[in-house]
């Protein structure tokens, strides 16, 4: 089995990447696919009973996965402090190794139809002195979906991110909005503006959910563009 991958990036930290990753996983699972989640690098972790570092995003992706997978394969780089990755790694006396991310991704891909890979923070977040989140999709040879956290300021962040994705020669499947701000004014008009200005299609807009979960998010997604070759 050699599955396909999709990289989920976003306009910022806290923009809805994890929730949307879970929703995409659920939507694919509803279509009968075997799906695994991955969070290659996570900063901001707790200790489990054995003293291992566990990140909440990675744990949620592991729980949504179609089959049991070792935590360390889903999240090969876990750091305690909720900082930019090079800082979090330095505090732990470690350096992020992109080779190990590719090895873990290959293991997941061999066990599933799809691997949904969540980024960390936004597109330009560095991982080492010379490797950034923006290098990961081409490193893993997978296309990208852009998550837009719908709040005032997101138009600028979304357009800048999309421009950079295209300049970086990364295939962009489309974008998904998530209503992180329940009080946002003119969210519908903002989505219409984004649809007009962004170069790729909108695959869904998630309203502000009182109880966010994968199944609820899946209802608002059109994942057909993922399936086309
Ligand atoms: N449509 C929505 N309705 C309600 N809550 C939402 C919605 N989208 C996101 N949230 C909430 O906003 C918070 C941030 O979302 P999420 O954790 O998915 O962002 P992220 O981009 O993955 O963040 P990080 O950079 O930490 O990985 C979460 O508490 C999530 O449940
Ligand atoms: C802790 C947080 N939730 C993310 N895991 C890390 C976000 C890093 C952002 C780096 C930056 O752009 O300043
Ligand atoms: Mg997340």
Average pLDDT, integer, range 41-51: 96
pLDDT of residue 74: 98
Residue ranges of the annotated binding site for substrate are 43
Give the atom of ligand 2 at the shortest distance from the alpha carbon of 57.
5
Q: What is the mean pLDDT of residues 51-66?
A: 98
Pocket of ligand 2 contains residue 10 by CB under 6 Å: no
Burial of 49 (0-12, 13-18, 19+ CB in 10 A): exposed
**pLDDT over 90 at 17, yes or no:** yes
- Report pLDDT for 22: 98
Tell me which residue of 194, 138, 195 sits closest to 167, measured CA to CA. 138
Per-residue pLDDT reduced to its tens digit, 63-82: 999 999 999 999 999 999 99
| Options 9, 26, 39, 203, the catalytic residue | 39
Evaluate: CB of 216 within 6 angstroms of ligand 1.
Answer: no
Is the pLDDT score of 229 beyond 80? no
pLDDT of the residue at 228? 83
- 91-127: pLDDT as tens digits: 999 999 999 999 999 999 999 999 999 999 999 999 9
Domains identified in the chain and CATH numbers: 4-40+55-78+98-226 (3.40.50.300)
With b for 16 or more beta-carbon neighbours within 10 A and e for fewer, the 5-18 pattern comes to bbbbbbbbbebbbb
pTM > 0.95: yes or no: yes
Cα–ligand 2 centroid distance for 88 (angstroms): 10
Mean of all residue pLDDT scores within the chain: 97
pLDDT in tens, 152-200: 999 999 999 999 999 999 999 999 999 999 999 999 999 999 999 999 9
Whether 39 sits among the annotated catalytic residues: the reply is yes
**pLDDT of res. 1:** 77
Whether the predicted pLDDT of 55 surpasses 90: yes
């Amino acid at each position: 089995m050699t599955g396909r991958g999709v990289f989920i990036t976003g306009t910022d930290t806290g923009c809805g990447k994890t929730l949307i990753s879970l929703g995409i996983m659920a939507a694919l699972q509803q279509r009968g696919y075997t799906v695994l989640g991955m969070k290659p690098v996570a900063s901001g972790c707790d200790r489990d009973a054995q003293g291992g570092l566990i990140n909440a995003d990675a744990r949620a992706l592991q729980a949504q996965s179609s089959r049991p997978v070792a935590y360390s394969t889903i999240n090969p780089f876990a750091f305690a402090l909720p900082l930019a990755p090079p800082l979090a790694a330095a505090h732990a006396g470690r350096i992020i190794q992109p080779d190990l991310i590719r090895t873990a991704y290959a293991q997941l891909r061999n066990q599933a139809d799809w691997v949904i890979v969540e980024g960390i923070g936004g597109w330009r977040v560095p991982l080492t002195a010379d490797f950034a989140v923006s290098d990961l999709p081409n490193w893993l040879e997978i296309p990208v979906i852009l998550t837009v956290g719908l709040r005032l300021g997101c138009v600028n962040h979304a357009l800048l991110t999309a421009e950079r994705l295209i300049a970086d020669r990364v295939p962009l499947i489309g974008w998904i909005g998530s209503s992180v701000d329940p009080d946002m004014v003119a969210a519908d008009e903002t989505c219409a503006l984004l649809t007009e200005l962004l170069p790729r299609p909108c695959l869904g807009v998630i309203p502000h959910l009182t109880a966010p979960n994968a199944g609820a998010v899946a209802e608002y997604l059109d994942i057909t563009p993922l399936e086309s070759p």
